[in-house]
């Protein structure tokens, strides 16, 4: 009998992926039962593809070939396949040996009809991640010289590839350790694929409304009429079996019994059927080659939603919804939504998780006359998310600003990464009520403008899309109403802006106001003109003429118009119905401009001992011993000042002599750690006599059971706390604050989601309210801020590299004029949770260690049985 351990199906390698043209595929490990799928796959391969893979023409696979390809241990020999629907369309292998377990030969084979869709690149990413998980660190591949497409897959992956030629073939060798370049290449491909998938949804050539009822009260009938009224330039097909059976029509358009009966290919299907019919409709759409679905049906069943998305993705479709209000693309005349009115085409892209908030967004846009580029209501967000829309909007030439309503961030780390990148090109405004401290931290670091209401979002968007960014926080308030000028100036001052009041005589002419605005522009970064509504125009003819004349000013100009109910544009200038609204919009835009002007920063790439660090916590749970915690920190260049446990006055004096005077004696037990108010320490002891006296004093106070340590005194400085944690929602993050009860009481802590750049570290240190104590407050000597920032960067990198470190606290850390000294460390280890936005491209992660039968694409009931009973 074989003594080899049974193969456990690595379900964590499963993933749904988006291909370069916006379609989808499912990646999974190969199974012994995949033989029939492989044989069918082989029949669809061209002679050239077979020759490129095997360097010879092979007419068929033998049983031995099938067995070797499908029966692997996923250790020395591994394989993953790509599925589209029930078809196996690509396979990739690695093969290593017991003698050289860190090196592997790799090979790829992609069905001819699927070539050019990016499957080779996706398989390489996932195969490298799986092999890395098994300890493999280098790939070698032999490729025929004429197989340039496969050679490009390897060369374009971002790895450093060496090439050697022999007899018409090229041998490619490269380390598969993720690098900044390889991750950048992967994310660039992810960006283009996800953007393409959303572009296909928003620019369909033909649409079907499935469930288009004849009754005007039905949702499907309404959506059909909205599509027709919107002016969509393409065919729209109502799908209604009952109407089709009677040879009838819906809204005067011929009805069809099913999506497969429609006479031409359909790109987008709007699904408005009862929940029980959704699975059959999705399957039919997959067979018909539909690109994407907008599911208005509210299934109110998480399992049913997951099954819907799994079926759709398996067939290459993206899904908006379920429980979506629909989508709109005004420029294309596309109103595939339940909302009858579509805003004009404009420059603002909108996304909403909530249906009611989506309605509020469209109502606000209509009331202000603001045009939209696109609108997407995500509903239950089973598939298409806000992150997908960010990928699309980043390079969409029709969108200048983004408004998003979010109830959750979904994948916060990916959201922060994308929003930060998109925000460098166009502003992102997020309506997110009830935000936590960490939510606000995420928005700030990503450059996102956070607001509480839809009206505030449009206030900001109006300013951003009509005016330049302000260079600073100076604002001049200009007007001829003393009360209105002062009210606006007070609001601006309370918002942290630097204010100049310019009060004109009552009854000033348009020229006076124009000259005042122009003059004030030389001393300010933004102007607010305060106006009073006078008929017949919204702000009186004098004000309109004056503001219009000021439109050539090269800094932002806003108008606070008393008496106007709904803000909008006034002669091309954003106008607000109250001073407070105008100031709030300007304050948020100033904050965005300051973020935009800051350099992006870099993540340090200095050499660390990450593998050694991971080995120190492998398999451990709970608080680490202090020596192991110190060794872990040493892997990242962080030194902890040793604390020597002593059991007598003599031992204390010996330890003090070894460490060097002055020293401290400290009680090392939970009640006294980080609690100077309990007096469990004696500091700055200059000699042996002082150590003996301190020992006697501590023992008298503490008793004989409390352990005592000797530690060398740190230089005089400011005591701070540096930490990291593995947050259940946000993943790894770092925190910073000053030590002490007052800081704890006021919760004066700053947090940052990883990764942390040098610019982020500098901002993090200065973002706590007590930061002036580090910078020379009231004449004190400034401390070594650069060394503190370097410590934060090291701890951030440790937290990012070692997910088994679920909690880390350095307290206290003494920051002095020339260094930082870490006096105490506490590290808690635990099982590592899957990291969002880490590893190869995917938009689905298994929730369980082994999949059920429905999870495995293209298999049979035997698949699930084999997996759950361990593979032979």
Q: CATH number for the domain including 762?
A: 3.30.470.20
- Please tell me whether residues 358 and 412 are part of one structural domain: yes
Q: Quick one: pLDDT at residue 537?
A: 44
Q: Report residue 719's pLDDT band, with 50, 70 and 90 as the boundaries.
A: very high
More confident residue, 208 or 5: 208
Token pair 């990198």 in the structure block, residue: 797
Mean pLDDT of 380-403: 95
3-state SS, one letter per residue, for 493-525: HHCCCEEEEEECCCCCCHHHHHHHHHHHCCCCC
Mean pLDDT of 639-649: 92
**Residue at a domain's end among 463, 478, 497:** 463
| Structure tokens given for 213 | 């009822």
- Please tell me whether residues 709 and 779 are part of one structural domain: no
- Please tell me whether residues 786 and 655 are part of one structural domain: no
- Please tell me whether residues 139 and 219 are part of one structural domain: no
Residue 629 inside a domain? The answer is: no
In tens, the pLDDT along 51-66 reads 999 988 887 889 999 9
Residue 484 inside a domain? The answer is: yes
Q: Which residues of 53-76 are buried (b: 16+ CB within 10 A; e: fewer)?
A: beeeeeeebeeebbeebbbbebbb
pLDDT at 540 over 80: no
pTM for this prediction: 0.87
Domain that holds residue 775: 718-829
Contacts of residue 225, defined as CB under 8 A and 6 or more positions apart, other chains included, come to: 216, 251, 340
Q: Quick one: pLDDT at residue 677?
A: 66
Residue 618 inside a domain? The answer is: no
**Residue at a domain's end among 680, 713, 746:** 713
- Please tell me whether residues 165 and 261 are part of one structural domain: no
- Please tell me whether residues 489 and 575 are part of one structural domain: yes
In tens, the pLDDT along 565-620 reads 555 666 678 889 899 999 999 999 999 999 999 998 998 888 899 989 999 999 99
Q: What is the largest CA-CA distance in the chain?
A: 107
- Please tell me whether residues 709 and 722 are part of one structural domain: no
Q: Quick one: pLDDT at residue 870?
A: 27
- Please tell me whether residues 363 and 229 are part of one structural domain: yes
**Residue at a domain's end among 146, 178, 210:** 178
Other Cβ atoms less than 10 A from the Cβ of 81: the count is: 27
Here the CATH number for the domain that contains residue 455 is 3.40.50.261
Other Cβ atoms less than 10 A from the Cβ of 513: the count is: 24
- Please tell me whether residues 162 and 207 are part of one structural domain: no
Alpha-carbon span 646 to 648, nearest angstrom: 6
- Please tell me whether residues 482 and 440 are part of one structural domain: no
Q: Quick one: pLDDT at residue 871?
A: 30
Token pair 């204010």 in the structure block, residue: 499
pLDDT at 478 over 90: yes
Strands 526-532 and 474-479: parallel
Ranking 118-127, 160-169, 328-337 by mean pLDDT, the lowest is 160-169
> How many domains does one find in the chain?
5
- Please tell me whether residues 694 and 722 are part of one structural domain: no
Token pair 């118009």 in the structure block, residue: 561
Residue 628 inside a domain? The answer is: no
Residue 32 inside a domain? The answer is: yes
- Rounded to the nearest integer, the mean pLDDT of the chain is 89
Sign, CA dihedral 683-685-690-696, equals positive
Q: Helix, strand or coil for residue 259?
A: helix
Here the CATH number for the domain that contains residue 707 is 3.30.1490.20
Here the CATH number for the domain that contains residue 123 is 3.40.630.30
Name the strand (E) or helix (H) holding 334: strand 334-337
Residue 222 inside a domain? The answer is: yes
Residue 430 inside a domain? The answer is: yes
Q: Helix, strand or coil for residue 78?
A: strand
Alpha-carbon span 735 to 714, nearest angstrom: 22
| Structure tokens given for 214 | 């004849």
pLDDT at 721 over 90: yes
Residue 6 inside a domain? The answer is: no
In tens, the pLDDT along 820-830 reads 999 999 999 99
Q: How far apart are the first and last CA of the chain?
A: 12
pLDDT at 861 over 70: no
- Please tell me whether residues 120 and 267 are part of one structural domain: no
In tens, the pLDDT along 779-797 reads 788 999 999 999 999 999 9
Contacts of residue 546, defined as CB under 8 A and 6 or more positions apart, other chains included, come to: 510, 511, 512, 513, 514, 517, 529
Sign, CA dihedral 638-641-643-644, equals positive
In tens, the pLDDT along 252-294 reads 899 999 999 999 999 999 999 999 999 999 999 999 999 999 9
């Amino acid at each position: 009998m074989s003594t080899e351990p049974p193969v456990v199906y690595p379900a964590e390698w499963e993933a749904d992926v988006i291909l370069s043209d916006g379609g989808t595929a499912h990646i999974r490990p190969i199974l012994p039962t995949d033989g029939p799928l492989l044989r069918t796959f082989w029949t669809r391969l061209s002679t050239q593809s077979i020759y490129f893979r095997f360097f010879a023409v092979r007419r068929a696979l033998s049983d031995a070939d099938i067995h070797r390809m499908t029966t692997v241990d996923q250790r020395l020999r591994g394989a993953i396949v790509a599925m589209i629907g029930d078809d196996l369309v690509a396979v990739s292998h690695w093969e290593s040996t017991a003698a050289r377990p860190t090196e592997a030969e790799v090979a790829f084979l992609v069905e001819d009809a699927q070539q050019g869709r990016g499957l080779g690149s996706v398989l390489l990413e996932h195969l490298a991640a799986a092999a890395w998980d098994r300890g493999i660190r280098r790939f070698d591949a032999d490729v025929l010289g004429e197989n340039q497409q496969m050679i490009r897959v390897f060369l374009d992956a971002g790895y450093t590839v060496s090439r050697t030629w022999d007899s018409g073939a090229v041998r490619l060798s490269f380390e598969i350790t993720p690098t900044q370049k390889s991750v950048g290449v992967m994310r660039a491909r992810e960006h283009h694929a996800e953007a393409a998938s959303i572009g296909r949804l928003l620019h369909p050539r033909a649409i079907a409304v499935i469930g288009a009822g004849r009754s005007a009260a039905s949702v499907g009938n309404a959506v059909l009429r909205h599509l027709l009224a919107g002016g969509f330039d393409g065919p729209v097909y109502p799908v209604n079996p009952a109407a089709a059976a009677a040879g009838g029509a819906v809204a005067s358009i011929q009805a069809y019994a099913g999506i497969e009966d429609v006479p031409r290919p359909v790109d987008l299907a709007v699904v408005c059927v009862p929940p029980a019919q959704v699975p059959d409709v999705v399957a039919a759409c997959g067979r018909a080659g539909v690109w994407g679905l907008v599911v208005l049906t509210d299934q109110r069943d998480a399992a049913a939603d997951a099954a819907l998305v799994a079926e759709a993705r398996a067939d290459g479709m993206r899904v908006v919804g379920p429980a979506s209000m629909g989508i709109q693309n005004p420029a294309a005349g596309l109103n595939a939504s339940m909302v009858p009115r579509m805003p004009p085409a404009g420059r603002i892209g909108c996304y909403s998780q909530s249906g009611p908030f989506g309605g509020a967004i469209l109502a606000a846009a209509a009331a202000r006359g603001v045009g939209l580029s696109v609108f997407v209501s995500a509903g239950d967000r089973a598939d298409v998310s806000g992150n997908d829309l960010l990928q699309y909007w980043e390079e969409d030439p029709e969108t200048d600003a983004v408004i998003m309503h979010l109830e959750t961030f979904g994948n916060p780390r990916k959201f922060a990464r994308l929003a930060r990148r998109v925000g460098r090109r166009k502003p992102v405004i997020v309506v997110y009520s009830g935000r936590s401290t960490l939510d606000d931290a995420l928005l700030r670091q990503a450059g996102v403008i956070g607001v509480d209401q839809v009206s505030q979002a449009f206030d900001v968007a109006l300013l951003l899309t009509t005016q330049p960014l302000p260079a600073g926080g100076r604002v001049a308030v200009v007007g001829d109403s003393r009360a209105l000028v002062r009210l606006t100036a007070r609001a601006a001052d309370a918002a942290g802006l630097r204010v100049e009041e310019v009060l004109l005589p009552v009854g000033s002419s348009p020229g006076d106001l124009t000259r005042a605005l122009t003059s004030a522009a030389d001393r300010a970064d933004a102007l607010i003109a305060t106006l009073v509504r006078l008929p017949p125009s919204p702000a009186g003819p004098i004000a309109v003429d004056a503001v219009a004349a000021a439109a050539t000013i090269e800094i932002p100009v806003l108008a606070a118009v008393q008496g106007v109910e709904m803000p909008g544009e006034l002669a091309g200038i954003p106008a607000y119905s109250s001073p407070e609204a105008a100031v709030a919009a300007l304050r948020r835009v100033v904050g965005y401009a300051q973020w935009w002007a800051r350099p992006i920063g870099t993540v340090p790439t200095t050499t660390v001992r990450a593998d050694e660090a991971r080995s120190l916590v492998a398999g451990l749970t709970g608080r680490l011993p202090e020596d192991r915690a110190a060794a872990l920190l040493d892997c990242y260049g962080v030194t902890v000042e040793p604390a020597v446990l002593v059991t007598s006055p003599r031992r204390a004096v010996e330890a003090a002599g070894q460490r060097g005077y002055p020293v401290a004696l400290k009680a090392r037990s939970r009640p006294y750690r980080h609690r100077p108010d309990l007096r469990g320490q004696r500091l700055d002891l200059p000699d042996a006599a002082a150590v003996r006296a301190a020992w006697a004093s501590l023992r008298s106070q503490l008793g004989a059971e409390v352990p005592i340590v000797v530690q060398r005194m740190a230089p005089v400085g400011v005591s701070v706390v540096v930490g990291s944690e593995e947050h259940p929602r946000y993943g790894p993050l770092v925190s910073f604050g000053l030590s002490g009860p007052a800081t704890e009481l006021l919760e004066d802590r700053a947090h940052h989601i990883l990764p942390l750049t040098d610019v982020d570290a500098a901002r993090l240190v200065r973002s706590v309210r007590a930061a002036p104590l580090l910078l020379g407050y009231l004449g004190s000597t400034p401390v070594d801020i650069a060394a503190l920032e370097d410590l934060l960067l090291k701890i951030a990198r440790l937290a990012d590299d070692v997910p088994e470190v679920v909690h880390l606290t350095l307290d206290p850390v003494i920051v002095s004029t020339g260094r930082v000294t870490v006096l105490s460390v506490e590290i808690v280890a635990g099982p590592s949770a899957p990291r969002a936005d880490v590893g190869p491209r995917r938009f689905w992660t298994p929730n369980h260690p082994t999949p059920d039968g429905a999870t495995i694409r293209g298999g049979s009931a035997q698949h699930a049985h084999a997996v759950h009973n361990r593979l032979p």
